[in-house]
Amino acid sequence: MHLENFIDHTLLRPTATGKDIIQLCTEALNYNFYGVCINGCHLPLAKDLLKDSKVKLVSVVGFPLGSMSTKAKVNEAMVYMEQGAHELDMVLNVGWLRSGDYMAVQEEIRQVKEVVGNNVLKVILETCYLTDTEIITACKLAVNAKADFVKTSTGFGPRGASIEDVILMKKAAGNRIKIKASGGIKDAVTVQNYIDLGVARIGTSSGVAIVVNQN
């Protein structure tokens, strides 16, 4: 299996420089990664570097905490779509979810999806902060709001993806929404394990090492 077809080659460190983004995009082109996942301020540079290629531009909204206003997330999404993003990964409002304010969570996702339109919206659950019941609820809200993916983690929480989380998300979402696993994924065996569970995308900063050592 060509693991590179599943990978969003990721660099979300706040200290990332233009030189770092150039390296990321060069690697994405050289290894045929599905996409690059970057902070919004780097979209114009990455768009120029990846023009005329098949590599998708993926950026993040409400990152990494998810606790800003809905209006702020919607406006951020609008700007990034205008700058050429193909896909957006937005952080769910964990505080609202844990408070039981489910309609606010769903409506926020719906409004961002409205901006994203026919492009892909992934909802980051940040599963490390959630109970099993909350993970299931979050998946259902994302489905109801017409998001395209649910995603495990930002990579900035106390832990990243886990097999247990993905199994739970798959059970909750079924085939109604896709799953992206991210956070702490560093080797080809782990990637393959997630793909075998039905994960459609992998977010990792270790993409080069993964594809080089996949055989």
* CATH for 20: 3.20.20.70
Per-residue model confidence as pLDDT tens digits over 166-200: 999 999 998 999 999 999 999 999 999 999 999 99
Given this model, what pLDDT does residue 1 score?
A: 66
- In which band, very low, low, confident or very high, does the pLDDT at 214 lie, cut at 50, 70 and 90? confident
Q: ∠ CA(34), CA(68), CA(135), 5° rounding?
A: 60
Q: DSSP string of 44-67?
A: HHHHHHHTTSS-EEEEEESTTT--
Range of the domain at 76: 3-212
The one catalytic residue among 56, 73, 113, 180: 180
User: How far, in Å, CA of 75 to CA of 55, rounded?
Assistant: 25
Domains of the chain: total: 1
The one catalytic residue among 56, 73, 113, 151: 151
* Active site annotation includes 48: no
User: How far, in Å, CA of 163 to CA of 194, rounded?
Assistant: 7
The one catalytic residue among 89, 122, 148, 165: 89
- In which band, very low, low, confident or very high, does the pLDDT at 20 lie, cut at 50, 70 and 90? very high
User: Would you state the structure tokens that stand for residue 43, as one six-digit string?
Assistant: 């979209």
User: How far, in Å, CA of 155 to CA of 171, rounded?
Assistant: 23
* Active site annotation includes 89: yes
User: How far, in Å, CA of 127 to CA of 39, rounded?
Assistant: 21
* Active site annotation includes 151: yes
Given this model, what pLDDT does residue 62 score?
A: 98
Given this model, what pLDDT does residue 68 score?
A: 98
Per-residue model confidence as pLDDT tens digits over 74-123: 999 999 999 999 999 999 999 999 999 999 999 999 999 999 999 999 99
